[in-house]
Amino acid sequence: MYPSFPRTYEPVLTGKCPVNFSSILNIVDKTASDCSAPLAALVGNVICCPQVHSLLHIFQGAYSSETDMLVLHQTEADDCFSDIISILTSRGANSTIPELCSVKPSNLTDGSCPVKDIKSFEKVVNSSKLIDACNTIDPLTECCRPACQPAIMQAAFAISQSRNTNPKNSAIPGSATSVDVVNDCKEVVYAWLSRKLPLEAANTAFRMLSSCRVNKNCPLKFQEPSNVIKQCSDLASPNPTCCASLNTYIGTLQKQMLITNKQAINCAAFFGSMLQKGGVMTNIYELCDVDLKDFSLQAYGQQGCLLRSLPADVIFDNTTGVSFTCDLSDNIAAPWPSSSSFSSMSFCAPEMSLPALPVSPTSGNLGNHARRLGIFAHLSFYLVYGILL
């Protein structure tokens, strides 16, 4: 694609933000590229917004390096947030990032978390354990066998329960207030990690954690498919009217945004469940040749592009224009759900939930056999999950 990019200009800064942006300029430039003005809305869910959230975490790390505080006061947050958006916009990013990604100055403050400074944080949290878990994230296993995510949650819970907790914020564990405090403290943990990890390592980690989250759901908006239900009920063979109605409906989805292969699977299954609830029991995806790529943004009106489930970036070149790395291996049939009661698909290997194989107390060989089966299952997980990546 060859969109026309706005000219860059000098940002209008408040002059009140105490952070030297030159220390994180590489991440700022990556964010501006991933949120480029003509494309931000089309790649917001999978490319732009995860990178924006990562930038805010990394910005807090840069702030803490100069102040020893992990969060900003509200006035500072207002000024710095304004500068961040101004700098991004000056580099060609979409000016509507706050609305598109639901970010605001309060993302840089402590919220209801009782721990704000580095010294208090490190008194409560096992710092080395946290760094070890998040320093290098394995993209193949983090979403199914997480190491960094539980470490972050454990640290957030620890600081949320610190002795500095305001009694007004204390609540029965599991209550809405308690959950809000822990979530606010997770942001503080991200800020601390940003300070401790190398810049690129922190950005990679935060983007990977975002991918684990966004790939669990379908980001597309579905209108009621009443005409598809009307034309496609009680079919046993291909029907031109049904397929035309189905293709017209899916055509509206193709204009929304770029999605990943895993999101496409969830979107296809979710839409199929809507049709089943309306009385369409035949697999019309198969009858009408609907592929996974049909649920994503279409290039030239006819070529769907599905991103891999790993974090991706917008690529810009003066010669080739703007491009994305598409997953061409997902030119496969869309899955028809087994029932209408659909929530979301699980992409983790079945062996993770299998009970342990029984071992005879009189047979030592059986134990070795069980271990060999476990190895094969583990390899199978890597192969299957690797294809989806």
Amino acid letter, 213: R
Distances (CA, A) of 325 to 50, 304, 305: 17, 12, 8
What does the pLDDT read at residue 174? 47
Rama region for 289: left / alpha / beta (φ>0; ψ in -120 to 50; rest):
left
Global pTM value: 0.83
| 178 φ, ψ (degrees, to nearest 5) | -60, -40
Which residue numbers in the chain have pLDDT < 50? 164-176, 351-388
What does the pLDDT read at residue 296? 92
Q: What are the boundaries of each domain within the chain?
A: 21-214, 226-330, 350-388
- Whether residue 54 contacts residue 134, with contact meaning beta carbons closer than 8 Å, is answered with no
Render pLDDT for 194-218 as a digit per residue (tens, 0 to 9): 999 999 999 999 999 999 999 999 9
What does the pLDDT read at residue 363? 43
- The C-alpha atoms of residue 152 and residue 160 are separated, in whole angstroms, by 12
What does the pLDDT read at residue 4? 56
Q: Write out the two tokens for 224.
A: 């009621």
What does the pLDDT read at residue 5? 56
Render pLDDT for 49-97 as a digit per residue (tens, 0 to 9): 999 999 999 999 999 988 889 999 999 999 999 999 999 999 999 999 9
What does the pLDDT read at residue 358? 44
- Whether residue 286 contacts residue 336, with contact meaning beta carbons closer than 8 Å, is answered with yes
- Whether residue 211 contacts residue 309, with contact meaning beta carbons closer than 8 Å, is answered with yes
Q: Write out the two tokens for 43.
A: 């790649």
Render pLDDT for 17-47 as a digit per residue (tens, 0 to 9): 999 999 999 999 999 999 998 889 999 999 9
- Whether residue 188 contacts residue 69, with contact meaning beta carbons closer than 8 Å, is answered with no
What does the pLDDT read at residue 325? 80
